[in-house]
Amino acid sequence: MEALSLQNIIFTVAGYHLSLIELIGTVTGLICVWLAAKQNILTWPIGIINLIAFTIIFYQVQLYSDMLLQSIFLWFSIIGWIQWKHGKLNNLKVTAYTRDEMVTMSILTMLLIACLSYLMMNIHLIMPELFPQPAAFPKADATTTVLSTVAIILMGKKKLEAWALWIIVDVMCIIVYAMKGIMFMSIEYAIFLIIAIFGFIKWSKEYNNEDRISNR
């Protein structure tokens, strides 16, 4: 496992010591997004490699909620891979939640964040054998994990709010990863932030067009 340690530096970039596992995680993440944009089915196996690399990294930097998130991503990746392989892509239109639906979703999301935050703040006491070190940034990490999970679900429903959540997640991840010293991943999420902003703009235009058509 030493080869997959963040201490296994393969080269230095602008004074930053880059490990093999961070390089694998960053590169596969970017390739995965690029392939997804091209609707190439290879996005799924590459994405799974990315998830495994991120799981290893997050355990080492005590971002346990993010580590948990990768298992959720893995489940959705397997489902997505199967659906793409068998051509079960749907033609959902972009929609948005009503104000009442947003309030309900916000309350449930905050409750989930509170529960996961509490668990992560005490996980080293609950399971000291598996997690000997306390979680780093347990509240922020729990927040990005829950918001990412909600965003995944909303993406599947083609809800406009999904991109808004991804923007929040990306901003928080940029900060947290930089503070943990995994700078290449921080830069990667800066790229994801740009993608999320463009995604929100594109989906907003599609939603507004559909809204105008439906109101005619």
pLDDT tens, position by position, 82-141: 877 776 555 668 889 999 999 999 999 999 999 999 999 999 999 999 999 999 999 999
pLDDT band at 201 (very low <50, low <70, confident <90, very high): very high
Model pLDDT, residue 128: 95
Residues constituting the chain: 216
**Which one has a higher pLDDT value, 190 or 12?**
190
Predicted TM-score (pTM) of this structure:
0.86
Residue 159 has pLDDT above 60, yes or no: yes
Range of the domain at 21: 2-214
What is d(CA 34, CA 48) in angstroms, rounded to the nearest whole number? 15
pLDDT at 212: 61
Do residues 163 and 147 lie in contact, with contact meaning Cβ atoms separated by under 8 Å? no
**Hey, which residues does 13 pair with through a beta bridge?**
16
Q: Quickly state the pLDDT bin for 203 (edges 50, 70, 90).
A: confident
Residues 6 or more apart whose CB falls under 8 angstroms from that of 80 comprise 44
pLDDT for the residue 138? 96
The total of structural domains in the chain comes to 1
pLDDT class for 40, splitting at 50, 70, 90? confident
- Name the average pLDDT for the chain: 89
Q: What is the pLDDT of residue 139?
A: 96
- According to the model, what pLDDT value does residue 190 have? 95
Residues 6+ apart with CB under 8 A from 32: 43, 46, 47, 50
For every residue of 118-133, DSSP letters joined together read HHHHHHHHHSTTT--S
